[in-house]
Amino acid sequence: MRRAVRLLEYQAKELFSEFGIPVPEGRTSRDAAQGRKDAEELGYPFVAKAQVPVGGRGKAGGVQKCSSAEEFELRYPEILGMSIKGERTRAVLLERVADVSKELYLSLFLNRSKRCYTVIASAEGGVEIESVRNRAVREVGSGEVGEGEARAVAAELGLDGAAAADFAGILGRLSELAVKKEAELAEINPLAVLADGSLLALDGKVMTDDNSNFRHPEMAKYREISELEERAERSGFSLVELDGNVAVVGNGAGLVMSTLDMLADSGGRAACFLDVGGGATAESVYEALTLIGGMGRVDGILVNLYGGIVRTTTVAEALVRAYGDGTVGVPVFARLKGAESDRAKEMLAGSKTGIYEDVEEAISAAVVGVRK
């Protein structure tokens, strides 16, 4: 059911605007025709920014300045067609260039062990915060940050006068956003101090708690979900697409992660992480195989199920059916342990499916099997 819920930059900035945090003027498009209109409205120069739900965009060439229509025509398709760390560009944000004199960092994140939000702020923005030494870190409770506290953070950064007041205001509004939208992370990096002393959120990152989606129908428009992920979600699965060729399926997030780790240790490369959950049935395992069948690039399927909750015979039934109707053509390497695993093996005898008692054997067989 769960997937990454990192909003795209333009989406985060829409939320910033909604909460009164200043952002650069910009336009977002998903094709060149709309992009061209955006460019005309905005006027040159501007920056074109790939909208991808991962970091490292700048280094990958996903942010380019355009000073003329020629440059736009050259760069727009390049950015739109780009993939960064396996994530294709979802949209392109064209944004007015700001006159920046200094860059700050500001974020709120849910501190799990302290069970509250923690503010991190720094006068050295624009870089990854882990690499910054001088930073203010403050636990601020689970509600909105009050003005006194926000002012104290501003003072810690050495801000004074109008900049301190602006900064405190932005921190207060960012915390309001985090609380009201149930965000796990709300980050402005960089938060620019402009030549005229005003503040502007140049980039934004918001991660929400998707378990609270039912309370936030207004956020539904921000869901960027592939067809495959949507189908997985409808079936009650967790699916993460990866770039290898061995699909990894199992019951329970920890078990599937553990299987990915062991597969990687053995030199295999996972095509996906697919957790069918505890409530798996013959139908849902069959649906999982159908999903994988539709992925392309899969040369083998590694199944790791720990029985008890999911019956192994249920899985065997699904495999028999999937081979029978051509849903699955690639070999399956299945580790089935738990209730009735002997019967499950009997059901699969003579099929393309290899059944293993031990997950490490199944992995070795899969790594060798997909190389053939």
187, 241, 287, 317: which is the annotated catalytic residue? 187
Place of tokens 């592939």: 226
- Contact flags string 119-158 toward other proteins, x per CB under 8 A: ---------xxx-----------x----------------
Please report whether residue 306 would count as binding other proteins according to CB under 8 A.
Answer: yes
Active-site residue, 105 included: yes
Q: What phi and psi, each to the nearest 5 degrees, are found at residue 22?
A: -70, 135
The residue (of 64 and 341) whose beta carbon lies closer to other proteins is 341
Told to judge if 187 belongs to the known catalytic residues of this protein, a careful annotator would answer yes
What 3 state SS string does 248-276 have?
EEECCHHHHHHHHHHHHHCCCCEEEEEEC
Binding mask 17-36 for other proteins (x = CB under 8 A): --------------------
* Residue of 335, 353, 339, 330 whose CA lies nearest to 259: 335
Q: Which of 300, 307, 354, 369 binds other proteins (CB under 8 A)?
A: 307
Binding map of other proteins across residues 95-124, x = CB under 8 A, - = no contact: --------------xx-xx-x---------
CA–CA separation, 119 vs 141, rounded Å?
10
- 2 is an interface residue for other proteins by CB under 8 A: yes
Pair of tokens at residue 73: 């025509």
User: Contact at 8 Å (CB) between 164 and 111?
Assistant: no
Cα 205 from Cα 12, distance rounded (Å):
6
Which lies closer to other proteins via its Cβ, residue 43 or residue 113?
A: 113
**DSSP secondary structure letter of residue 53:** S
Q: Which of 32, 47, 78, 238 binds other proteins (CB under 8 A)?
A: 238
Query: Out of 242, 320, 330, 368, which residue is the one contacting other proteins (CB under 8 A)?
Result: 242
Angle formed at CA 318 by CA 256 and CA 211, multiple of 5 degrees? 45
One-letter amino acid of 234: R
Angle between helix 227-234 and helix 282-293 axes, rounded to 10 deg: 180
257 binds other proteins (CB under 8 A): yes
SS3 33: helix
Q: Is 295 in the site for other proteins (CB under 8 A)?
A: no
* Catalytic center residues: 105, 187
Which residues of this protein are in contact with other proteins, per CB under 8 A?
Answer: 1-6, 53-55, 85-86, 109-110, 112-113, 115, 128-130, 142, 182, 184-185, 207, 209-212, 214-215, 238, 240, 242, 250-258, 260-265, 270, 273, 275, 278-279, 306-309, 338-339, 358-360
